[in-house]
Each structure stands twice: as structure tokens, then as C-alpha cells.
Amino acid sequence: MIRRAGLADIDAIVAVFERSFATLDFLPRLHTHEDHVRFLDRCVVDDETWVWDDGEIRGFAVLRGEELSQLYVDPSSFRRGVGSALLETAKGERPDGFTLWVFQRNAAARRFYEAHGLRCVRLTDGSFNEERTPDALYAWDPSAARGSSAR
């Protein structure tokens, strides 16, 4: 079940984040566990944080304004619908669309977003992210999807 996260979920959210982020072996490790706790605590307090919870938190998504700023799934739950359900929740919460950033080398995530109707609208050299790793801006624009299906 997907529900809004609360402060009691922070430890589980951090654990999912750290296990999932560890699969991105091309990225430098810039932050400590304590940094992750502080950052994700702020996401729960200041943003809209959603979790997939079936008795255990298996993934989470953070909406910050018109951006899906975080979407992470525990590696043990990859390809089980958790990410798809969280992405659909984001679409429902932002029916006019949203953007998100993904690292260019994260081919699996890029395929996932493209399969779910998002499109790449910009590539960067990574000079604006703290990892200094090339990234891609994706957008979900439901009006563009409606327009293309009407043709």
C-alpha cells in the first residue's frame, strides 16, 4: 500500500535509500549515513514523501513542488511494481506534470521512466550536480501525451 510518510518512517526510508543508492556504483560517495538521515528527515517534514509499505517499506518517492526529487526502491523489490506504483502516485498528485533528474549512466532508470511515458528533455554534463556526473532531465507532460494520442 502507498501512503504518506511520517517521521517514524525515517530509519526505513534511509535504509532503502542507502541500499538502492549503493547499486549506482559509478557515483562518488559524498555523504555519511547521518547526512542521509538529516536530508530525508527534511524531505518528510518539508515535502510530500510517499512510501510503499506492505509491512516493510520497500520504496519511497518525494515530490518537491513540480519535481519528483527522489524515487528509490529497495533492490530486493526491483521489478515488482513498487517503482511503477510510486510513479503513478506522483502522476496522480501532479496531474499537470512534473520533472525529475536521473544520471545518464543509470540506464535502467532511464528505460523505466521512458516506458512510463516520461521523455528526456535535456542532457547536462553534470556541472550543476554535486556528484559532477552527467545527468538527464525528464518530464512527464500529460497534455503532450493526450495530444499525441489524438492524432
Average pLDDT over residues 24-32: 90
What pLDDT was estimated at residue 23? 93
**Residue 30, domain extent:** 2-149
Can you read off the three cell numbers belonging to residue 99?
520533472
Q: Quick one: DSSP state of residue 9?
A: G
Number of domain units in the chain: 1
Q: Quick check: 124 pLDDT over 50? A: yes
What residues are paired with 122 via a beta bridge? Answer: 137
What pLDDT was estimated at residue 146? 56
Residue 145's Cβ-count burial label (10 Å; 0-12, 13-18, 19+) is middle
CATH number, domain containing residue 33 = 3.40.630.30
Query: Rounded mean pLDDT of the chain?
Result: 94
Q: At what angle do helices 33-46 and 10-21 cross, to 10 degrees?
A: 120
Average pLDDT over residues 68-74: 97
Given a contact cutoff of 8 angstroms between Cβ atoms, the answer to whether 110 and 120 are in contact is yes
What pLDDT was estimated at residue 151? 39
Residue 46's Cβ-count burial label (10 Å; 0-12, 13-18, 19+) is exposed
What pLDDT was estimated at residue 50? 98
- Count, residues in the chain: 151
Given a contact cutoff of 8 angstroms between Cβ atoms, the answer to whether 136 and 104 are in contact is yes
What pLDDT was estimated at residue 150? 44
Where residue 29 falls among pLDDT bands split at 50, 70, 90?
confident
Sign of CA dihedral 19, 21, 25, 27: negative
Can you read off the three cell numbers belonging to residue 129?
550536480
pTM for the complete prediction? 0.91
Given a contact cutoff of 8 angstroms between Cβ atoms, the answer to whether 42 and 65 are in contact is no
